[in-house]
Amino acid sequence: MVSPGFKIALFIGLQGCSSVGLIMCNRYLATSLHCPILTLVFQNSLATIFSLATWSLGVGQSMNPWKLEHFRRVLPLTVIFSVLLWTSFQALGKVSVATVVVFRNSSPFFTAVTERVVNNTVVSYRTMVILFLMIVGALIYTSGDLEFTVVGYGWALANLACTVTAGMFGKNFAMGLKEEQTGLGLSVYQNIMSVPCLTVVAVVTGEAWRWTGTSYLTGLDFTSKCIFLFSCVWCVSMGIATFELQKLVPQTTVMVANVSYKMVTLLVNVALFGSNVGVWGLFGLVVAQAAAVLYMYERVSGQVKQKEETASIKDDQDVEAQLVRKAESAQ
């Protein structure tokens, strides 16, 4: 029997590798592929084909029979995810990348607030301070490069709201189908439903009029084609890890992990492509990453303490039951 702690560590590791790998692949592909939404459509389509192929061959995670009701339930999540991408593109076009980083680092804090209000999740003052430190670290990292415009901040706030909402919907969706479908099945649902939703976003943004069909990919060189295929594999593993993780931990933990991956990605980006981060920026990254690690430690230590308290209560109940039985037998 695999312990929940091992599963959590496994899926965090898988999600982290997938996130960093996918971002690095997409960064490379961005020099050749200039329609980001069309790239996502092809990635999700091929990811679905890969998922079905491995499932039919009996490789990797299994998948339960599909149900039409499941597709209906995943539709709101996919719509929000598509709007999230749209607001992300709009925000990046109106403000600096540094400003977007600050808003993304604030998502765990606001997710914790939302979970506390919506699900009555207990979030300690200490945990909220740790989550706020992630925002402070991002502010230090991006100081000097922040950019304020009313329109830009409006799109950034909309993207933040979509990020928190999509996370909460994804959490409820995964928990609602926890016993009915695996992470692979949930990922396939979302990938299939994302294609029409992303197409609508492309039409709204005007990108659809620049689409060129399959020649969009066939014109790539051999290296770019291989990297594109790798990105599709990362899409599959990312979807599986995300939904399985949402079944095991609070959504705030998932968001903290996601921000942590972004910090690791920045460090990998510096190592591979070079950057002018500087000592002050590096200090900000360390603060944000240390806050993420501290949050994870708080979660693990809290779970251990809760288990010990539960075990202690159970022992007390067993002793009390034994005393009752002895008293009854004495009578």
Predicted pLDDT of residue 158: 87
Look up the pTM and report it.
0.69
Surface-to-core class of residue 104, CB atoms within 10 Å of its CB (0-12 exposed, 13-18 middle, 19+ buried): buried
**CA atoms within 13 Å, Cβ hemisphere of 186:** 28
- Rg of the Cα trace of the chain? 22
Predicted pLDDT of residue 157: 84
CA 288/CA 294 separation, integer angstroms? 10
- The tens digit of pLDDT for each residue in 264-323 reads 666 666 666 555 556 676 677 677 777 777 776 776 665 545 544 444 445 445 545 565
Predicted pLDDT of residue 253: 76
What's the one-letter identity of residue 227? I
Predicted pLDDT of residue 48: 92
**Helix (H) and strand (E) counts for the chain?**
12, 0
Q: How far is CA 77 from the centre of its chain?
A: 13
pLDDT tens, position by position, for the chain (331 residues)?
667 778 888 888 888 888 878 877 877 887 788 888 888 899 989 999 998 888 888 776 778 888 888 888 888 888 888 888 778 767 766 766 566 667 777 788 888 888 887 777 777 788 888 788 877 877 776 666 556 677 777 888 888 888 888 878 777 776 777 678 888 888 888 889 889 988 998 898 888 898 887 788 888 889 999 999 999 998 888 888 888 887 877 777 777 777 777 666 666 666 665 555 566 766 776 777 777 777 767 766 655 455 444 444 454 455 455 655 655 565 5
CA 323/CA 120 separation, integer angstroms? 37
